[in-house]
Amino acid sequence: MGKVFAVVVAAIAVVSAALFALHIWWLPVDISAHGSRIDRALNETMVAAGVLFVVAQLALAVFAWRFGPEPASRAVKTFPGGATPMVVLAVVLVGIEILTLTFVGSKVWAGIYQTPPDPNSLQIEVQAEQFAFYFRYPGPDGRFGAMHPELANDATQNFFGLDPANDTTARDDIVVGSLAIPVNRPILLALHAKDVNHAFYVPELRIQQDFVPGMVIPLHFTATKTGKYEIVCTQLCGLGHYNMRAYVEVMPEQQFNQWLKEKAAQQ
Amino acid sequence: MRRSNRFWWSGVAVLAGLLLGKAAMTGRAAPPPAAGRISGTVTYTGTPPKMRPIDMSKEPNCVTQHPTPVMTENVVTGAGSTLRWVVVYISAGDQPTSPPTEATRYNQKGCLYIPHVLALQVNQPLDIYNEDPHSHNIHPLARVNPEWNKSQPKGAPPIHTKWEEPEFIPVKCNVHPWMHGYFAVLRTPHYSVTGEDGTFSLAGLPPGKYTVTAWHEQFGAQRQEVTVGDGQSKTISFVFTARPY
């Protein structure tokens, strides 16, 4: 029985490690300027954790094979000096590994999230609500109209609570249900939540950021590949959370300008 | 003695029956009042808000159902400044009637409420269908009637319901924020919802004095007093003041 257990444990360890080592289960394509740093940090974590996982599981398998159930007459042996030094050593080693990964990872995270955005970034406002995302561009005047939450009304498509009757800067604001951005241009999003917590997650952009009601959360990135990618909410936000998504389309600058012009004409 | 009395009384009853029958026949001979009609057009002055395409990209099923983008329906105008989705109805002067027994139908299809404004009578059966290949969550925001909120997955049976009090009830889908509509729950059987040509017609009106109300979801309500004579057709018009914002 011990040998069967040993074989099963070894097989699970090797197959699951191979799924990642051979990139059968792996990250989606990276389309962001900062993504390579995230991927490197993830890779280092995966390798460090993966090596420990495989070694520990194979050691378990060896011990189960070698010292599996034996006749009751056989004496139970203990480690020389007891198990305490082994446990202490394991805790220290794993602790050092986790602290190192945290330090390296937080440095990468801070390098992305805590650096100021490019002053020439394209600014786009995002409104998250149960259960959709809406995006706002400043329009030809280059200025965003002020938001008045009490004026927000889905029935009239006033998702941002604009007051175009009194606020002329709001009249040309472009509000759409999917995000379009130019490739290779820095983007600065301002995240607003209308009701509860939501999240902005685009795996290909290597970005995941929560929305918090009452806070305006800046988020900046540069997309480096054109294409259409899904934006999903990853904070359980209510009954329709499963269906809360939008799309980001990364397009060449010229196409983006044309798109913006068409949308401006529809406002 | 008792038997002869009974015979005498039955004779009186037959005679009375004959007399009453004759009286009734005489009454039937008088022509009943002919039904009148109030009809007309709803228009606007000023600048209405722009109809804008609805972005349904988060629900690809619905995008594929609409080869051309669907426009917003809160203010829909037609040629000649006509106004669509206005409920015109008798708000006073009508005789109470029992509601129809046949159900009226409200559809969710292509991520839209069809029709955008559904007028129906108090206590009239209402069947709500989901014809889309995905879930909807219908949420009538009633204030006078009880408010409710039901999920209706793909292929689910219709929701059978009714409204017990007159009210204009906004309806929204909790999953698709752009989906909005109205139930116009009315006491009167005389109502009409304008099409793109803005016309309405309230037929079958007995002679009398009526208050006719026109209600629009964004521009509010207007009333007019109209007296309809025997078989008379009256034409009236409603003009709303539109604002672009």
Q: Is B13 helix (H, G, I), strand (E, B) or coil?
A: helix
Residue-wise pLDDT tens digits, A21-48: 998 999 999 999 999 999 999 998 899 8
- As a whole number of angstroms, the distance between CA A152 and CA B170 comes to 15
| DSSP 8-state code for residue A204 | G
H or E element: which one contains B64? Answer: helix B60-65
Quick one: B47 and B17 in the same domain?
no
Chain center to CA of B194: 11
Check residues A121 and B21 and name the one with the higher pLDDT: A121
Question: Prior bond to B133 cis, omega within 30?
Answer: no
Which residue intervals of chain A are DSSP H helices?
2-21, 35-66, 84-113, 253-266
Number of domains in chain B: 2
Q: Do A246 and B135 touch (CB under 8 A)?
A: no
Residue-wise pLDDT tens digits, B70-125: 999 999 999 999 999 999 999 999 988 899 999 999 999 999 999 999 999 999 99
- Matching residue, tokens 């051979």: A22
Q: Is B125 helix (H, G, I), strand (E, B) or coil?
A: coil
CB contacts < 8 A, A to B, total 67
Quick one: B85 and B46 in the same domain?
yes
Task: List b or e across B169-190, with b for residues whose CB sees 16 or more CB atoms inside 10 angstroms.
Answer: bbbbbbbbbbbbbbbbbbbbbb
Q: How confident is the model at residue B16, as a pLDDT?
A: 46
Nearest to A189 by CA among A214, A203, A208: A208
Quick one: B152 and B174 in the same domain?
yes
Amino acid present at A186: P
Write the CATH number for B44.
2.60.40.420
Q: How confident is the model at residue B24, as a pLDDT?
A: 45
Of the partner residues A130, A157, A164, the one whose CB lies closest to the CB of residue B178? A157
Q: Do B59 and A243 touch (CB under 8 A)?
A: yes
Quick one: B114 and B165 in the same domain?
yes
Token pair of B210, please?
Answer: 């009526």
Q: Do B135 and A243 touch (CB under 8 A)?
A: yes
With CA atoms as reference, the chain A residue closest to B179 would be: A155
Q: Are residues A180 and A259 in contact, defined by beta-carbon separation less than 8 angstroms? A: yes
Of the partner residues B53, B175, B217, the one whose CB lies closest to the CB of residue A243? B175
For the entire predicted model, the pTM comes to: 0.82
Q: Are residues B63 and B176 in contact, defined by beta-carbon separation less than 8 angstroms? A: no
Q: Which residues pair with B180 in a beta bridge?
A: B172
Quick one: B104 and B164 in the same domain?
yes
Of the partner residues A154, A156, A239, the one whose CB lies closest to the CB of residue B137? A239
Residue-wise pLDDT tens digits, A186-205: 999 999 999 999 999 999 99
Mean of the pLDDT values across residues B158-175? 96
Q: Do A131 and B178 touch (CB under 8 A)?
A: no
Q: B208-216 and B191-193: which strand pairing?
A: unpaired
Interface test with A, best of B47, B51, B58 (most A CBs within 10 A): B58
H or E element: which one contains A207? Answer: strand A207-211
- As a whole number of angstroms, the distance between CA A96 and CA A181 comes to 42
Token pair of B108, please?
Answer: 């969710």
Q: Do A154 and B174 touch (CB under 8 A)?
A: no
Please list, in sequence order, all residues whose beta carbon lies within 8 angstroms of the beta carbon of residue A86, skipping any fewer than 6 positions away.
A79
Q: How confident is the model at residue A49, as a pLDDT?
A: 87
Residue B40, burial from CB neighbour count under 10 angstroms (0-12, 13-18, 19+): buried
Note the maximum CA span of chain B.
Answer: 94
Q: B117-121 and B180-186: which strand pairing?
A: parallel
Quick one: B142 and B213 in the same domain?
yes
- As a whole number of angstroms, the distance between CA B154 and CA B224 comes to 44
Q: Are residues B46 and B242 in contact, defined by beta-carbon separation less than 8 angstroms? A: yes
Quick one: B5 and B114 in the same domain?
no
Q: How confident is the model at residue B19, as a pLDDT?
A: 44
Q: Is A61 helix (H, G, I), strand (E, B) or coil?
A: helix
Q: Are residues B50 and B64 in contact, defined by beta-carbon separation less than 8 angstroms? A: no
- As a whole number of angstroms, the distance between CA A222 and CA A184 comes to 6
Min Cα separation B105/chain A (Å): 22
- As a whole number of angstroms, the distance between CA B185 and CA B167 comes to 5
Q: How confident is the model at residue A121, as a pLDDT?
A: 95
Q: Do B59 and A267 touch (CB under 8 A)?
A: no
Token pair of B156, please?
Answer: 């689910």
- As a whole number of angstroms, the distance between CA B176 and CA A148 comes to 22
- As a whole number of angstroms, the distance between CA A72 and CA A75 comes to 8
- Matching residue, tokens 């149960």: A130
Quick one: B126 and B26 in the same domain?
no
Helix axes A84-113, A35-66, angle to 10 degrees: 160
Which residues of chain B lie closer than 8 angstroms to A171, CB-CB?
A: 245
Residues of A with CB under 8 A from a CB of B: 129-133, 154-157, 159, 164-165, 171, 176-178, 238-240, 243-247, 266-267
Quick one: B147 and B201 in the same domain?
yes
Domain that holds residue B207: 38-242
Quick one: B118 and B10 in the same domain?
no
Q: Do B177 and A240 touch (CB under 8 A)?
A: no
Alpha-carbon distances of A171 from A27, A141, A168, B74, B92, rounded to whole Å: 42, 10, 5, 18, 41
Q: Do A132 and B58 touch (CB under 8 A)?
A: yes
Helix axes A35-66, A2-21, angle to 10 degrees: 170
Residue-wise pLDDT tens digits, B63-85: 999 999 899 999 999 999 999 99
Residue B195, burial from CB neighbour count under 10 angstroms (0-12, 13-18, 19+): middle
Quick one: B25 and B134 in the same domain?
no
Task: List per-residue pLDDT tens for chain A, 267 residues long.
Answer: 788 999 999 999 999 999 999 989 999 999 999 999 999 999 988 998 899 899 999 999 998 888 877 666 566 667 777 888 889 998 998 899 889 888 888 988 888 888 899 999 999 999 999 999 999 999 889 999 999 999 999 888 899 999 999 999 999 999 999 999 999 999 999 999 999 999 999 999 999 999 999 999 999 999 999 999 999 999 999 988 998 999 999 999 999 999 999 999 888
Quick one: B71 and B181 in the same domain?
yes
Which residues of chain B lie closer than 8 angstroms to A165, CB-CB?
A: 243, 245
Which residues of chain A lie closer than 8 angstroms to B137, CB-CB?
A: 239-240
Please list, in sequence order, all residues whose beta carbon lies within 8 angstroms of the beta carbon of residue B99, skipping any fewer than 6 positions away.
B121, B122, B123, B124
Q: Do B245 and A247 touch (CB under 8 A)?
A: no
Q: How confident is the model at residue B14, as a pLDDT?
A: 46
Q: Is A164 helix (H, G, I), strand (E, B) or coil?
A: coil
Of the partner residues A130, A154, A238, the one whose CB lies closest to the CB of residue B178? A154
Interface test with B, best of A229, A230, A243 (most B CBs within 10 A): A243
Interface test with B, best of A129, A156, A229, A262 (most B CBs within 10 A): A156
